Amino acid sequence: MRKTKNKINAQTITEVERAISELRRGQIIAVKTKAGSGLLVASPENLHPETYQKLVRLAENGLFLAITANRARIIGGKAKVSTHLSLIKIDKKLSRALLEEIAAARQDMADFGALMQNALSSNDPAIISAINLAKQAELLPALIIAKVRNPEAIAKKNDFLAVTPENIDSYGKSEIVDLSEVSNAPLKLEHAPNARIISFRPALGGKEHHAIIVGKIDKSGVVPVRIHSSCYTGDLLASLRCDCRDQLHDAIKYFARIGGGVVVYLMQEGRGIGLVNKLRTYKMQYEQGFDTVDANKFLGFDEDERPFGLAAEILKKIGVKKISLMTNNPKKISEMERLGIKVYSYIQAPTETHEHVRKYLKTKSRRMQHMIKI
């Protein structure tokens, strides 16, 4: 496998992280392209009235709401939706109040379905990058955009931050390489008194991820491994609506019983959409009957937004390249193989079946191809 080199530099990191902060603060950012044109974008999720009015004034050809094809398909009624982004013209029908409804991810939006009838399809790379920036900010992937000429000059005059699509994309991909070990400590767990936790930080900053080594592992052999994404509601609060806590603790118990193994603990809440967005999907599942896949797509996300390159890099950092993977998710197996970690076998992750989690497990089995028998 040819390894992708990480060419991101400090200036790019600073530019994109500032852009993420500006979006989260409800501010306008400029996305500039090499052709000299570009976009002004803002998130409807935390849009200040004065910011919205400024966008209205600066827009040369009006404002549009950009949403993903996933979201358009679910809330667009009978409108035909392409595989690209959908752009909806913001006019008097699409008021700022309705934008707030969209940002709040409420289901009852009959007016929005009607507006979708005249939506435009777009595969503009700059808009796609801007939507990816919103995802990196753990905001909803929906943006108010204005196409403009010379966005850099507009940004300078109005004190907006300007960012390029190339830098956004580089930032999004760079996290899979250049991890540094920042902490290594012994850990005594209830079911594994002989454990150690090693923390890793991406060179560009951001969230730390961890390797929990249970017992002793033979790095020259096939090492039992569980790749586990953080779940605040399950791991910490013992939610009955998912099987995350059971899988985490069962993996630790199993590794302790057989003498050793590794839990790679990734800070990728909600299959990569962030805690707040995950809680939004919970509301739709509890109150509106969505399953976990459609709830993600209603918000505009894919069913699974997680990059597993982080897990592969952590395993390489601790010297593990051959594994027996504890999982029910075939994507983890194929991704490890693609990223240079040889998966010699897989161990089925135990699942606790009860009335609160049954629908969730059935969805993972039927719609996400997880290897679960319900």
Q: Which residues are tagged catalytic?
A: 304, 306
| Structure-token match 């992750």, residue found | 349
Q: In terms of C-beta density within 10 A (0-12 exposed, 13-18 middle, 19 or more buried), how is residue 4 classed?
A: exposed
| Structure-block tokens of residue 357 | 């989690």
- Calculate ∠ Cα 18-21-23, nearest 5°: 110
- Calculate ∠ Cα 336-338-343, nearest 5°: 40
